[in-house]
Amino acid sequence: MNSETKTPNFDKLLDEILEKIVPHERECAQKDISKYCEKKFRIYDEDIKFYKLLRVPPPKCCPTCRRQRRNAFTNRIYLYKRKDDAPGNSKEVISFVPPVSPFVVYNLDYYRSSKWDPISFAVDYDFSVPFFDQFFDLRLKVPQYAIVRDPSSINSEYSLNGRNLKNGYLVSGGTDSENLWYSIFIKNSREVMDSHSIDKCEQCSEMILTKNMNLCFYCYFSFNCISSYFLLDCRNCQNCFGCSNLRNKKYCFFNKQLGKVEYEEKIKSMRLDSRSGLKDARKKFWEFVKQNPVRASRSSRSVNSSGLAIINSRNCQNVISCENGENERYVNMVTNHKDSMDVYTSGDSELLYEVSWVGAGASNIKFSFGSKNVTNCEFVINCHYCDNCFACIGLENKKYHILNRPYGRDEYFKELDKIKLSLLKSGEYGEFLQCRFSTFAYNGSEADLYFPLDQYETKKIGAYYQPDSGIETQGIKIAEAKDIPDKIIDVEDNILDEAITCEKTGRLFKIIKSELDFYRRYKLPIPTFHPLERMKSTYWYLVGDNIVYKDFCDKCGIPIETIYNPKNNWRLYCESCYQKEVY
């Protein structure tokens, strides 16, 4: 035990636990609760190293259940209209907090004002009451902000996160961009529809992880291309259609070199201004892609790492989407990160354990979510610029608080030692927050993308389920997909007064004027899938089913990990073989 420890009694007992632990198999605590549970899981030597580094006991739940739970605390695409609980406000507010949520919700301006004080909700710790019960009682009282939106954004009230966004509609993470619709993580771009993780793109639709693209549509993992449709892993291409793995090409049609006139005739024959033509083109494209080498894991420049989409990293295991990471385990979607385990969505941080959406300079944080620029904290929710806080909600620029109550430094550590020791003895210490603490409904969170549950299954794991409130349909014509003109040129303005039935879910949605103008401008057919379904589909292109599949390189035969299900007949290449053949 460290002689300089500030919680000596807790650390003594934790050291005794960690000294005895050896690799072994254990049953998941949720084996009879979660349909996705692994039932049994192993504790490995590498896991034990992280427990000792991060000062935590081993988990009770399997990696899948832990990942599912963290995902339930993140929402990038669901917005609702709900009651504003701010004093003196009677209007509804646009919010990412669903109406089913039991929490007090303030509009963003009131939340950021000095008209209320989170310290006013402070309580003393009660050793006779289970920790999570008294912490949840505090959660029910401290207001929750309705949405995260930067004041620099203009005419983007139906968007969240990001900054300097102008004219964004259902956009999450739009930064320094203009005229965006139904998109996620867009930077330095304009005139973009249905896209995810792009930078410096203009006049585009359905772009996935692309950069420096102009007048391109349905392109994936491609860079520096112009006036092209349906590209996968292409670079520096112009006027190309249905191509994969091309470099520095013009007028290619399914990787075949054509002359300018022949190419333009081929493009006209595809009928891309119609849904039927677009559907045929999409089918032919993905059939063609499977005939060509595909990067299996989408990882590069990484050492001693396993998982998917790992870039410029080292010593990262069981990781999905990590860039500039070091010494990471069971993490998803992190950037500039190190020495962390069981993390979902973070950046520029270190020494994190069992957190979701915690980052921006965070260090030594456990069992927390929705917090930034925090250090040496545990069980914090919606806290910013805080240090040495435990079980706190909504605090900013605070130190030495427990359940939102301030303490002197010495008094804080004395009380913290007693609390953490009691939690360790009772078995309450070491786990992420239960789903009831989440700001979001389960079916309005990212967990629903990878681990979908029905209403009964959601209740079983203790999460919230938000029934679909739909849209107001009184006096509005309901249109089935078959009723929508196939070609954009045949669509009249009255479509703006109709509600379209999603051909996948049956959920109703409307087309807004700026969206219709975009389709007409670029001769794209009206979609017949709900915008949320289109946004959800973009995640698949990035990380597949969020499952690490095992397979063998189609070229050299070595074992590989991949985002693509091998049963679907992909020609999967390891990174080395892909680089040799394509570059």
CA dist 163 and 238 (Å) reads 31
Confidence band of 471 (pLDDT split at 50, 70, 90): low
Residue entry with tokens 């549950």:
453
Q: What is the pLDDT of residue 167?
A: 96
- Relative to beta strand 250-253, strand 238-244 is parallel
**What is the percentage of the chain residues whose pLDDT exceeds 90?**
86
Tokens 């009831």 locate to 436
What mean pLDDT comes out for the span 86-105? 93
Question: Taking 90 as the threshold, does the pLDDT of residue 530 lie above it?
Answer: yes
Count of beta carbons in the 10 Å neighbourhood of residue 268: 10
Report pLDDT digits (tens) over 339-385: 999 999 999 999 999 999 998 899 999 999 999 999 999 999 999 99
Give the type of residue at 534: R
> For residues 250 and 262, what is the distance between their CA atoms, to the nearest angstrom?
12
> 361-370 burial, b if ≥16 CB within 10 A, otherwise e?
ebbbbbbbbb
pLDDT of 2 above 60: no
Predicted confidence (pLDDT) per residue in 199-249, tens digit: 999 999 999 999 999 999 999 999 999 999 999 999 999 999 999 999 999
Does residue 417 register a pLDDT over 80? yes
- The secondary structure of residue 433, as a DSSP letter, is P
- Average pLDDT over the chain reads 94
Amino acid at 388: N
* 26-47: average pLDDT: 94
- Averaged pLDDT for residues 38-44: 95
In degrees rounded to 5, what are phi and psi of residue 228? -135, 160
Q: Can you tell me the distance from the alpha carbon of 447 to that of 451, in angstroms, rounded to the nearest whole number? A: 5
Region 326-340: mean pLDDT is 94
Burial class of 25 by CB neighbour count within 10 A (0 to 12, 13 to 18, 19+): exposed
Domain ranges of the chain: 8-60
Q: Give every CB contact of residue 114 below 8 A, 6+ residues apart in sequence.
A: none
At residue 186 the predicted structure's pLDDT band, cuts being 50, 70 and 90, is very high
Among 390-404, 463-477, 564-578, the range of highest mean pLDDT: 390-404
What is each CA distance from 487 to 113, 150, 276, in whole angstroms? 50, 38, 9
Tokens 């259902």 identify what position? 170
State whether residue 515 is helix, strand or coil.
Answer: helix
- Greatest mean pLDDT among 152-161, 510-519, 545-554: 510-519
User: Using one digit for the tens of pLDDT, what is the confidence trace for 296-330?
Assistant: 988 888 899 888 889 999 999 999 889 999 999 99
Using CA atoms, how far apart are residues 153 and 144, in angstroms rounded to an integer?
A: 21
Which segments of 85-162 are extended strands (E)? 92-95, 105-106, 144-145
> What is the per-residue pLDDT for 1?
47
**Cα–Cα distance between 481 and 247 in angstroms, integer?**
38
The yes-or-no verdict on residue 469 having pLDDT over 80 is no
DSSP reduced 3-state for 95: strand
Structure tokens at 285: 């494209």
pTM, two decimals, is 0.91
> pLDDT at position 470, please?
67
DSSP annotation string for 539-561: HHHHHTTS--EEEE-TTT--EEE
